Amino acid sequence: MSEQPPVLIVGAGALGKLWAARLSGSNPQFLYRPQHSAGMTRYQRLDLAGHSHHHAIPGSPTLELGCPPTAVLVTTKAMDARSALEPLINVLPPTVPVVLFQNGMGSQQAIASRWPDHPILAASTTEGANCPDRNTLVQAGRGETWLGGLTEAGKAIAASMAARLHTDDSPVHHAPDILYRLWQKLAVNAGINPYTAILACRNGDILQAPLFQGTIQPLCQEVSALMTAEGYPGDPTELEARIRQVATATANNLSSMRQDVMAERATEIDFINGFIVTQSIHHGLPVPVNQMLVAQVKQLTHQ
Ligand code: PAF
């Protein structure tokens, strides 16, 4: 392995492979699950123009302590992020930035409060990529990423971290209030992902479905009431317009939740509509639509 200190990527799924490709000049390395043996992850990346690029990224199930990483990017599913970090973070030098890329909310806050002295940051991205098979990464759309600190140490380095990860092709912006960005993305995911899972359809198809048409307004009112209670602006009409706009713009996409159901994997429902339910109950706000969506999605995957 190279002498240059690595950027460690925890989670070798589509997002992890995308960042590994992007950071190919910064010695990216994967941290695998404990049962995985050390070795190269080889894959072909099809870029937006359909051109093929080949990548071979080294990885190991253990951290090479002789050469600590310059940063850790966590690109696992929300439910795996904390347990993936648990064995790692206590052996990391406490100055190494940890950037969380999870969907939804809840996992990021849990990690920041578990390790408040580490520079923990969260990212919200609109990058689209998927893996039709283990050896292929397809870039589905040009996107942008916003990044901000969750802990004090994270806030102190957020602007320089954003600049470090930025490229003209894939902009990375510093977002001093990253939680607001996460709320906005959460609202969109809450209004698209469970419908695509329950209706077994692509993002655009939800717009014509009676389930969506009959519940999207009260769903946006529930999300708006919660955002207001948490101190963030969230007008229900604007939230609905944004959900419709993203569903239209990504009409042919299979949402991440739909893909999880198709692959019989656990979904991130607890970190999307489930997070809205838990937080709303905490504020004494009723959330019947979100509760119904959580229950129906859980039935699909027996979660
Ligand atoms: O989770 C997803 O799939 C995406 O965030 C979105 C915006 C719903 C598009 O597919």
Quick one: pLDDT band at residue 303, thresholds 50, 70, 90?
confident
From the candidates 17, 77, 155, 185, give the one annotated as an active-site residue. Answer: 185
Quick one: pLDDT band at residue 219, thresholds 50, 70, 90?
very high
For ligand 1, whether the C-beta of 125 sits within 6 Å is: no
Cα–Cα distances (Å) from 2 to 5, 10, 67, in that order, read 8, 19, 10
Q: Give one DSSP letter per residue of 212-238, joined into a string.
A: HHHHHHHHHHHHHHHHHHTT----HHH
Instruction: State the closest ligand 1 atom to the C-alpha of 189, by its place in the atom list counted from 1.
Output: 8
For ligand 1, whether the C-beta of 243 sits within 6 Å is: no
How many CB atoms are closer than 10 A to CB 22?
Answer: 17
The residues, any chain, with a CB within 8 Å of residue 293's CB and separated by 6 or more, are: 190, 194, 195, 198, 215, 219, 269, 273
Domains observed in the chain: 7-176 (3.40.50.720), 180-301 (1.10.1040.10)
Q: What is d(CA 288, CA 53) in angstroms, rounded to the nearest whole number?
A: 47
Nearest-CA residue for atom 6 of ligand 1? 255
Task: Tell me the pLDDT tens digit for each residue of 274-296.
Answer: 999 999 999 999 999 999 999 99
Q: What is d(CA 263, CA 265) in angstroms, rounded to the nearest whole number?
A: 5
Helix (H/G/I), strand (E/B), else coil: 33: coil
Look up residue 139 and give its amino acid: Q
Please say if the pLDDT value at position 1 is more than 60: no
Arithmetic mean of pLDDT, 121-147? 91
For ligand 1, whether the C-beta of 188 sits within 6 Å is: yes
Choose which residue among 101, 125, 201, 246 to substitute to test ligand 1 binding: the one with the highest number of ligand atoms within 8 A of its C-beta: 246
How many CB atoms are closer than 10 A to CB 300?
Answer: 17
- pLDDT for position 65: 67
Choose which residue among 182, 203, 269 to substitute to test ligand 1 binding: the one with the highest number of ligand atoms within 8 A of its C-beta: 203
Q: What is d(CA 250, CA 123) in angstroms, rounded to the nearest whole number?
A: 21
Instruction: State the closest ligand 1 atom to the C-alpha of 192, by its place in the atom list counted from 1.
Output: 8
For ligand 1, whether the C-beta of 184 sits within 6 Å is: no
Is 70 in contact with 25 (CB distance < 8 Å)?
no
Please say if the pLDDT value at position 253 is more than 70: yes
Look up residue 154 and give its amino acid: G
Quick one: pLDDT band at residue 216, thresholds 50, 70, 90?
very high
For ligand 1, whether the C-beta of 272 sits within 6 Å is: no
pTM of the predicted structure, to 2 decimals? 0.94
For ligand 1, whether the C-beta of 277 sits within 6 Å is: no
Instruction: State the closest ligand 1 atom to the C-alpha of 255, by its place in the atom list counted from 1.
Output: 3
How many Cα atoms sit within 13 Å of 116 on the Cβ side? Answer: 1
Read off the DSSP letter of residue 66.
T
Quick one: pLDDT band at residue 62, thresholds 50, 70, 90?
confident
Q: How far is the CA of 271 from the centre of ligand 1 (A)?
A: 14
60 strand-pairing partners: 31
58 strand-pairing partners: 40
Nearest-CA residue for atom 5 of ligand 1? 189
Instruction: State the closest ligand 1 atom to the C-alpha of 185, by its place in the atom list counted from 1.
Output: 5
Does 155 participate in catalysis according to the annotation?
A: no
Please say if the pLDDT value at position 198 is more than 60: yes
Q: Give one DSSP letter per residue of 156-181, joined into a string.
A: HHHHHHHHHH--SSS-EEE-TTHHHH
